């Protein structure tokens, strides 16, 4: 059997054909890795806000930036969305489907602010096994996913502030998670110009 392994060697990672993205690992493997990511980052911060806003979100941002490049190349023939609704729907459908195996539950426009959009998920994949201790208040590990969204949007030229929030749902024991996207002013001005 020696030498019949599946892996081929490439002198340069760029020579390697891009995978089709069909390979899978167990959800458990991801869950343990994500749990360890959160635990490690807890040791690197002084407070919960820092853990959420700078550490987990940054880790997610690094993923989002790469996901954008990967998907634009593989799924969109090296094109990317240039309009606001186009990019939002790309995140809500294409990105979600690839990363989390399903389209996000909903994409809505904020009712009070023109520049706000919300992607909601009844049960965010990263939160599947996670119970937030009472003393951590509104902390949400979905900050990682918010970071992914920010990474995708930023890379595509739609800078935004993106945050994750628990939202109670009537009749449900567990709250859903809403990813709140607040676009930068320049994005809305550009949209207005494009008409």
CB of residue 134 to another protein, shortest distance in Å? 8
The runs of H, that is alpha helices, within 57-184 are 57-75, 84-89, 96-100, 143-155
Residue 171 as a binder of another protein (CB under 8 A): the answer is no
Residue 28 as a binder of another protein (CB under 8 A): the answer is yes
Name the 3-class secondary structure at 125. Answer: helix
Residue 7 as a binder of another protein (CB under 8 A): the answer is yes
Query: Is the CA virtual torsion 54, 29, 68, 104 positive or negative?
Result: negative
66, 165, 182, 190: which one contacts another protein (CB under 8 A)?
Answer: 66
Residue 48 as a binder of another protein (CB under 8 A): the answer is no
45, 48, 58, 175: which one contacts another protein (CB under 8 A)?
Answer: 58
User: Which residues neighbour 125 within 8 Å (Cβ) at sequence distance 6 or greater?
Assistant: 27, 30, 99, 100, 101
Contact range with another protein by CB under 8 A, out of 104-112, 132-140, 152-160, 186-194? 132-140
């Amino acid at each position: 059997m020696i030498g019949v392994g599946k892996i081929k060697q490439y002198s340069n990672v760029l020579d390697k054909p891009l995978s089709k993205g069909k390979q899978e690992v167990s959800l458990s493997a991801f869950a343990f890795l994500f749990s360890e990511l959160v635990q490690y980052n807890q040791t690197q911060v002084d407070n919960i806000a820092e853990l959420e806003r700078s550490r987990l979100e940054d880790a997610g941002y690094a993923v989002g930036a790469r996901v954008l490049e990967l998907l634009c190349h593989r799924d969109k023939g090296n094109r990317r969305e240039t309009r606001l609704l186009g990019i939002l729907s790309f995140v809500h459908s294409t990105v979600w489907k690839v990363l989390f195996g399903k389209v996000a539950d909903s994409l809505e426009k904020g009712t009070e602010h023109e520049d706000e959009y919300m992607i909601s998920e009844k049960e965010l994949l990263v939160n599947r096994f996670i119970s937030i201790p009472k003393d951590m208040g509104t902390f949400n590990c979905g900050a990682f996913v918010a970071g992914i969204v920010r990474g995708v949007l930023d890379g595509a030229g739609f800078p935004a502030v993106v945050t994750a929030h628990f939202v109670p749902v009537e009749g449900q024991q567990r709250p859903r998670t809403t990813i709140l996207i607040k676009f930068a002013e320049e994005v809305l001005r550009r949209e207005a110009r494009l008409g």
